[in-house]
Amino acid sequence: TKPEPQMIVIFGATGDLARRKLLPGLLRLLRRGEVTDGMPIVCLGRRDILPSDFLERLQVERFLPGDEPELIERFSRLLHYRQFDLQTGTAEQLTEVLQAVARDYRCGGNKLFYLALPTGAFGAVADLIKPLVSGDGWLRVVFEKPFGADLDSAKRLNDSISAVLREEDIFRVDHYLGKELVQNILFLRFANEIFCCAWNRDAIDNVQITVSETLGVEERAGYYDHSGAIRDMLQNHLLQLLSFTAMEPPTSNDPDAIRDEAARVVEHLRPPETADVVLGQYGAGRIGDRDIRAYRDEDGVAPESVTETYVALRTFVDTPRWQGVPFYLRTGKRLAHRYAEIRIVYKQHRCDGLDTPGRANMIVIRIQPDEGIALAFNVRKPGSDNEAESVLMDFCHHCHFGPNTPEAYEAIMASAMRGDTLLFTRWDWLRASWRFIDRLRAVAPPVVAYQPGSTGPAEGERLPEADQRAWVETT
Ligand code: BG6
3-state secondary structure 142-195: EECCCCCCCHHHHHHHHHHHHCCCCHHHEEEECHHHHCHHHHCHHHHHHCCHHH
98 is an annotated ligand-binding site residue: no
**Can you tell me whether residue 250 is helix, strand or coil?**
coil
Residue 362 has pLDDT above 80, yes or no: yes
Report the alpha-carbon distance of residue 164 to residue 131 in Å, rounded.
9
Q: Look over the chain and give the mean of its residue pLDDT values, rounded to a whole number.
A: 93
pLDDT reading at 474 higher than 80: no
- Of the candidates 433, 435, 432, 457, the one whose C-alpha atom is nearest the C-alpha of residue 446 is 457
Mutating to test ligand 1, I would choose from 16, 177, 232, 241 the residue with most ligand atoms within 8 A of its C-beta, which is 232
- Determine the distance separating the centroid of ligand 1 and the alpha carbon of 160, expressed in angstroms: 27
Query: Residue 475: is its pLDDT beyond 70?
Result: no
pLDDT tier, 107 (very low <50, low <70, confident <90, very high otherwise): confident
- Which residues is 114 bridged to in the sheet? 10, 142
Q: Worst-scoring range by mean pLDDT, 99-103, 187-191, 280-284, 317-321?
A: 99-103
How far is the C-alpha of 347 from the C-alpha of 362, rounded, in Å?
9
DSSP helix/strand/coil, 269: strand
Q: How far apart are CA 380 and CA 385, in angstroms?
A: 9
**226 catalytically annotated:** no
For 193, 322, 331, the CA distances from 434, given in Å and listed in that order, are 34, 22, 18
Task: Tell me the three state secondary structure of residue 230.
Answer: helix
The reported pLDDT for the residue numbered 342 is: 98
Phi/psi for 132 (5° steps) reads -80, -20
14 half-sphere exposure, CB direction, 13 A CA radius: 17
Residue 10 φ/ψ, nearest 5 degrees: -105, 120
Is 60 exceeded by the pLDDT of residue 45? yes
**Which is catalytic among the residues 80, 237, 337, 349?**
237
Instruction: Give me the pLDDT at residue 352, please.
Output: 61
d(CA 132, CA 300): 38
The average pLDDT across 374-387 equals 90
Average pLDDT for residues 400-407, to the nearest whole number? 87
3-state secondary structure of 281: strand
More confident residue, 177 or 87: 177
- Confidence band of 5 (pLDDT split at 50, 70, 90): very high
| Whether the Cβ atoms of residue 22 and residue 114 lie closer than 8 Å to each other | yes
Q: Identify the CA nearest to 207 among candidates 244, 255, 154.
A: 244
Q: Are 140 and 45 in contact (CB under 8 A)?
A: no
By the 8 A CB rule, do 359 and 391 touch?
no
Please give the backbone phi and psi of residue 472, each rounded to the nearest 5 degrees, phi first.
-95, 120
Mean pLDDT, range 378-390, rounded to an integer: 89
Q: CA-CA distance, 94 to 85, in Å (whole number)? A: 9
Confirm whether residue 13 is marked as ligand binding.
yes
Decide whether any atom of ligand 1 lies within 6 Å of the 232 Cβ.
Answer: yes
Across 267-278, average pLDDT = 97
Contact 364, 342 (CB under 8 A): yes
What confidence score (pLDDT) does residue 370 get? 93
Instruction: Please tell me whether the overall predicted TM-score, pTM, comes out greater than 0.90 for this model.
Output: yes
Residue 435: pLDDT band (50, 70, 90) is very high
pLDDT range class, residue 123, cuts 50, 70, 90: confident
| pLDDT beyond 70 at 468 | yes
pLDDT of residue 403: 84
Judge whether residue 189 has pLDDT over 90. yes
Q: CA–CA separation, 73 vs 90, rounded Å?
A: 32
Burial of 289 (0-12, 13-18, 19+ CB in 10 A): exposed
Among residues 247, 254, 142, the alpha carbon closest in space to that of 190 is found at: 247
53-73 residue pLDDT tens: 988 888 888 888 778 889 999
**Is ipTM over 0.90?**
yes
Tens digits of residue pLDDT in 197-240: 899 999 999 999 999 999 999 888 989 999 999 999 999 999 99
Q: What is the mean pLDDT of residues 380-409?
A: 90
Instruction: Please check if 239 is assigned to a binding site.
Output: no
pLDDT for res 449: 97
* Percentage with pLDDT > 70 across the chain: 98
Look at residues 322, 421, 366, 24 and name the one whose alpha carbon lies nearest to residue 182.
366
Q: With CA atoms as reference, report the closest residue to 334 among 291, 388, 398.
A: 291
Which of 173, 233, 310 to probe ligand 1 with, by most ligand atoms within 8 A of CB?
233
Distance from the alpha carbon of residue 468 to the mean position of ligand 1, in angstroms: 31
Q: How far is the CA of 375 from the centre of ligand 1 (A)?
A: 27
pLDDT attached to residue 178: 95
Q: Could you tell me whether strands 310-316 and 277-282 are parallel, antiparallel, or unpaired per DSSP bridges?
A: antiparallel
Q: How far apart are CA 85 and CA 463, in angstroms?
A: 46
Return the pLDDT at 353.
Answer: 65
Amino acid at 424: F
What b/e string do you get for 44-78 counting C-beta neighbours within 10 Å, with b at 16 or more?
bbbeeeeeeebbeebebeebeeeeeeebbebbeeb
Is 333 annotated as belonging to a binding site?
yes
Residues 436 and 219: beta-carbon distance below 8 Å: no
* Cα(73) to centroid(ligand 1), Å: 30
Q: Mean of the pLDDT values across residues 298-313?
A: 96
Note the pLDDT of residue 351: 65
Would the pLDDT of 170 be above 60? yes
Contacts of 378 (CB under 8 A, 6+ apart): 356, 358, 359, 361, 388, 389, 390, 391
